């Protein structure tokens, strides 16, 4: 396997469930899954100068994620999200604002690290505050291969923001609802998923677009070719972090030269396995994943 280096930029926080709290945030979840595959991962974010911020930094360090890019703010608290699960395990989120990760400041070391990094992964939520958005825009000008995880959380985005972030990306990941919402912003008149994906790809000049479909798997459009996985039958515990592990897994396999179909199948399997467990970052090993894919 290649020695891949990646940076994940954005929110780090505590997901507060009705009975417990767990460390999370989409970019953090992606970083942990990439690290579990042996990727050299840096996290760029900000935490408060508080007990929760220290817990996040210690957790990431112990997990092998490089935290040199995490700032410690004396003005803002570490982020928290209240998570509510419906009877199917699907999550909705109440996201505290403002918190430390809304105020990620530009730092010179970020740019030097980025120039030596293969993959830069970012989302839309971190741009809800202009401070973090300006820092992200600066880094997007330097990054080599840019992966945009759309990850819409109302009301923390605008049409203009999404269109700008998409035009920077080499790879865009949506869920099916996000795809159609964003395509409408672009003026799409299409109803089929394939036509809509191809339209978005053409409008944004993005050669790789991946769309997750919940229990029904995912579609990958890569270099004008189509790849499909119809999903895995599982008993869902909660869906928190499932899409993040899916994204990390697909990117990892693609960057290691595996076929797009193999990458998609692997990503769908890992995403499904995460949904069978509580929390965003259950430990999975290669043997478990292979057994799940080929029972």
Nearest CA among 277, 279, 236 for reference residue 288 = 277
pLDDT of amino acid 84: 80
Q: Are 41 and 34 in contact (CB under 8 A)?
A: yes
Nearest CA among 11, 85, 61 for reference residue 240 = 85
pLDDT of amino acid 94: 87
How far is it, in rounded angstroms, from Cα 194 to Cα 285?
A: 33
Q: Are 218 and 212 in contact (CB under 8 A)?
A: yes
Q: Is residue 114 classed as helix, strand or coil in its secondary structure?
A: helix
pLDDT of amino acid 275: 94
User: Which H helix or E strand runs over 179?
Assistant: helix 176-185
Token duo for residue 31 = 């970083």
pLDDT of amino acid 85: 77
Beta bridge partners of 77: none
How far is it, in rounded angstroms, from Cα 229 to Cα 269?
A: 9
Nearest CA among 182, 291, 186, 276 for reference residue 237 = 276
Neighbour count for residue 107 (Cβ, 10 Å): 14
Q: How far is CA 164 from CA 113, 148, 150, 169, 236, in A?
A: 24, 11, 12, 9, 35
How far is it, in rounded angstroms, from Cα 263 to Cα 209?
A: 13
pLDDT of amino acid 66: 98
pLDDT of amino acid 224: 97
pLDDT along the chain (295 residues), means of 10: 91 90 94 97 98 98 98 98 79 88 95 94 97 97 97 92 97 97 97 98 97 96 98 90 96 97 98 91 91 92
Q: Is residue 196 classed as helix, strand or coil in its secondary structure?
A: helix
pLDDT of amino acid 89: 66
Domains annotated for the chain, with CATH where assigned, are 5-293 (3.40.1190.20)
pTM confidence score: 0.95
How far is it, in rounded angstroms, from Cα 188 to Cα 95?
A: 30
Beta bridge partners of 227: 220
């Amino acid at each position: 396997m290649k020695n891949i280096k990646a940076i994940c930029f954005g929110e780090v926080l505590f997901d507060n469930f009705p009975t417990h709290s767990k460390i999370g945030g989409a970019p953090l979840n992606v970083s942990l899954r990439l690290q579990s595959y042996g990727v050299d991962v840096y996290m760029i974010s900000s935490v408060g100068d508080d007990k929760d911020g220290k817990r996040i930094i210690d957790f990431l360090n112990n997990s092998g994620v490089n935290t040199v890019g995490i700032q410690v703010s004396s003005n803002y608290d570490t982020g928290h999200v209240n998570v509510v699960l419906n009877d199917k395990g699907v999550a909705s989120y109440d996201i505290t604002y403002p918190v430390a990760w809304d105020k990620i400041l530009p730092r010179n070391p970020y740019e030097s690290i980025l120039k030596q990094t293969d993959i830069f992964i970012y989302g839309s939520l971190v741009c809800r505050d202009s401070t973090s958005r300006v820092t992200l825009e600066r880094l997007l000008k330097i990054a080599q291969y840019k992966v945009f995880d759309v990850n819409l959380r109302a009301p923390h985005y605008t049409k203009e923001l999404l269109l700008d972030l998409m035009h920077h990306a080499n790879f865009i990941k949506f869920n099916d609802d996000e795809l159609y919402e964003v395509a409408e912003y672009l003026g799409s008149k299409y109803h089929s998923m394939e036509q809509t994906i191809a339209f978005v790809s053409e409008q944004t000049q993005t050669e790789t677009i991946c769309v997750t479909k919940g229990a029904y798997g995912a579609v990958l459009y890569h270099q004008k070719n189509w790849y499909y996985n119809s999903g895995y039958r599982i008993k869902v515990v909660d869906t928190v972090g499932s899409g993040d592990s899916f994204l990390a897994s697909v990117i990892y396999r693609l960057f290691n030269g595996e076929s797009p179909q193999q990458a998609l199948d692997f990503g769908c399997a890992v995403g499904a396995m995460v949904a069978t467990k509580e929390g965003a970052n259950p430990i999975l090993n290669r043997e478990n994943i292979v057994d799940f894919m080929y029972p």
